[in-house]
Amino acid sequence: MKPRVLIVDDEQNIRRMLRALLEQEAFEVEDAESGADAPGAIESFDPDVILLDLIMPPGPDGIATLEEIRSAHPNIVVIMMSGKAALADAVRATQLGAFQFLEKPLSPEGVLVAVGAAGELAQARVENRELRDALGSSQTIVGQSSAMQHVRWLITQVAPTHSRVLITGESGTGKELVARALHEQSGRAGERMVIVNCAAIPATLVESELFGHERGAFTGAVSRRRGRFAAADGGTLFLDEVGDLGLDAQAKLLRVLETGIIEPVGGDTQFEVDVRVIAATNHDLERKVAEEGFRADLFYRLNVFPIHVPPLRDRPGDIPPLVTHLAGQVSARIGRRPAAFAEPAVQRLAAHSWPGNVRELANIVERLAIMAGDGAITEDHVEAAIGGAVAPSTPGEFRLPVRLSVALEAYEAELIREAIGAAGGNVADAARKLHTDRANLYRRMRRLGIAHRDTSVSK
C-alpha cells in the first residue's frame, strides 16, 4: 500500500506540483502551507511521510517544525526540502532525525525515489510495532510514578536525534528497555540494534568483538569476523556495562567515537561506519574518572544526554502495575492463565526493598505463578518466595509451599552475596573466590536478580 504523504510548504506552486506528481503515482496526499498548520494536518490526515520545507516565513521554520514532529510523532518519516539551505541546516536536520534532505529545484525522479524509500521505512516501523504488539512484547517501560514519567519524557526528547545517550542505574532497573525505546523511537528503528555486554567480553577479545578481525590475526582467528560496530552500521550499538571496559579498550573505543572509522584487528584497511552509540552502566562513572578507572574524555563523549533509571525501592507505586504486566508475560510463557494476586500479596511485594530491582521482581513473580498453580497468590506465598529457602518448621519437615529449585536458587544467591561481600563488592574477586569466571558469575547474578552492590547475606 502506498504511504500517505503530507506536504508542508509555504509556496503554493510547490505544493501543487508535488501533489500532482505524487497523486499521479497513486499516493494519497494532503498539504499544509505553514509549520503552524502542520500539527493539525498530521492529526487529521495521519501521514506516513512528510515533505517539509526549511524556510517558511513568518515561521515556525522547518527545523522547529521537525523538532515538534519528531517529539510528538517519532514514527513519521520526514524529508526536508530547501533551495537556500546551508550545510549547518542540513546537519541540524539530520541530527534531529530527518530521513533525507532534497535541494530545490526538485526533480520528479528525486522526489519519487525519496518518498518511496521513506514509505518503505515507515512500513517497516509499522510492521515492527505490530509484531511487538502481537508477541505481547516484554520491551515495555511500565510504571506511572513521576520518576518513570520523567524517564519516558527524556526518551521522547532525545530518541529522534543522533546524540549519544548514557543510561545509568542499578542492575536490574531496566536500562536495556530504555535503550530499546530510544532505538525504536529513532529514525534508525528500521535498522538493527546490536547489544554488547562489555562485562562479559574477555579483555583480550574486546577489540576483536567490537571492531572485527581478519583471518589469522591471532591464535584462534580461523576466519574473518565482522565486529559489532560493522553489524550495527546504519543502526544503534548498545554498550551495556560500559563501565567494565578496561583502559586499553576505552582508548580504542574513544578513537572510533571521535573518527567514526574502524580498523579490524590484523587488517590494513579502515572503513567508516554510521552508528549511534547508546551506553549503560551501574557504576558511578564520575567517581571512576576521579579514581582514574575510566577515561574522562570517553566519559564526556558518552555522556552527551544522561538518563538515570531509578531503583524500584524508590518507586513502590509502580510495583502493582509491574506485577500485573509480569504475570501476563509469565502466563504466556508457561501456558497458564495469568496468576491472580490477592491485595495483601501485592502490598507485601510493594513493601519489599528489591535490591535486584525489576529483574528480581520478575523472578519472584514467575516463581509465585508456578508455586500457586491455578489458585490465587496469597501473602503467605509471597513471604515464602521472598524469604528464599523455606526454613524447616520441625526437623525433617518443610513449611509448604517449597520446591527444590526455589531452595537451590536461594542457597546459590546466598553464596554469591557472601562472596561479593567478602570481596568488598569486587565481582571479579568474588568470581575467583567461587572458582568460576567473571562472565559466568554475572550471568548467575542476572538470573537471580542480584545487584552488583547487593552484598547483604541472608540470615
Percent of the chain with pLDDT over 90: 44
pLDDT the model gives residue 443: 80
Q: What is the pLDDT of residue 384?
A: 85
Residues 66/52, Cβ–Cβ less than 8 Å: yes
Q: Which of 17, 101, 19, 15 is nearest to 54 (CA)?
A: 101
Task: Look up cell 532525525; give the residue.
Answer: 97
pLDDT of residue 241: 93
Q: Rounded CA gap, 327 and 79, in Å?
A: 42
pLDDT score for 303: 96
- 302: closest CA among 288, 312, 316? 288
Residue 217: pLDDT over 80? no
The pTM of the full predicted model, rounded to 2 decimals, is 0.58
Calculate mean pLDDT across residues 43-58. 91
22: confidence class by pLDDT, cuts 50, 70, 90: very high
Confidence check: pLDDT of 391 > 60: no
Tell me the three-class secondary structure of the chain, residue by residue. CCCEEEEECCCHHHHHHHHHHHHHCCCEEEEECCCCCHHHHHHHHCCCEEEEECCCCCCCCHHHHHHHHHHHCCCCEEEEEECCCCHHHHHHHHHCCCCEEEECCCCHHHHHHHHHHHHHHHHHHHHHHHHHHHCCCCCCCCCCCHHHHHHHHHHHHHCCCCCCEEEECCCCCCHHHHHHHHHHCCCCCCCCEEEEEHHHCCHHHHHHHHHEECCCCCCCCCCCEECHHHHCCCCEEEEECHHHCCHHHHHHHHHHHHHCEECCECCCCCEECCCEEEEEECCCHHHHHHCCCCCHHHHHHHCCEEEECCCHHHCHHHHHHHHHHHHHHHHHHHCCCCCCECHHHHHHHHHCCCCCHHHHHHHHHHHHHHHHCCCCECHHHHHHHHCCCCCEEECCEECCCCCHHHHHHHHHHHHHHHHHHHCCCCHHHHHHHCCCCHHHHHHHHHHHCCCCCCCCCCC
Q: For 152-184, what is each residue's pLDDT tens digit?
A: 999 999 999 999 999 999 999 999 999 999 999
Residues paired with 8 in a beta bridge: 32, 52
Residues 3-20: what's their mean pLDDT?
A: 94
Bigger pLDDT: 255 or 389?
255
Question: In this predicted model, what pLDDT tens digit does every residue of 93-140 receive, in sequence order?
Answer: 877 788 888 988 899 999 999 999 888 888 876 765 555 544 444 457
Percentage of the chain beyond pLDDT 70 is: 87
Angle at 59 between CA 56 and CA 65, to 5 degrees: 85
Q: How confident is the model at residue 330 (pLDDT cuts 50, 70, 90)?
A: confident
Residue 338, preceding peptide bond in cis (omega within 30° of 0): no
Digit-coded pLDDT (tens) for 400-425: 444 455 557 667 877 888 788 777 77
Q: What is the model's pLDDT at position 23?
A: 93
Integer Cα distance of 326 and 353 in angstroms: 18
Is residue 344 within 8 A of residue 379, CB to CB? The reply is yes
pLDDT at 218 over 60: yes
Across the chain, mean pLDDT equals 84
> What domains does the chain contain, in order, with CATH numbers?
4-133 (3.40.50.2300), 146-310 (3.40.50.300), 313-448 (1.10.8.60)
Asked whether residue 392 carries a pLDDT value surpassing 50, the answer given is: no
The dihedral through the CA atoms of 185, 186, 192, 197 has a sign that is negative
Name the least confident of 34-43, 57-66, 229-238, 446-455. 446-455
Radius of gyration of the chain (CA): 26
**Parallel/antiparallel/unpaired status of strands 212-213 and 225-226:** antiparallel
Lowest-pLDDT range of 22-26, 38-42, 451-455: 451-455
For residue 459, the model assigns a pLDDT of 32
Q: Which residue has the higher pLDDT, 176 or 442?
A: 176
The segment with the largest mean pLDDT, out of 292-306, 396-410, 423-437, is 292-306
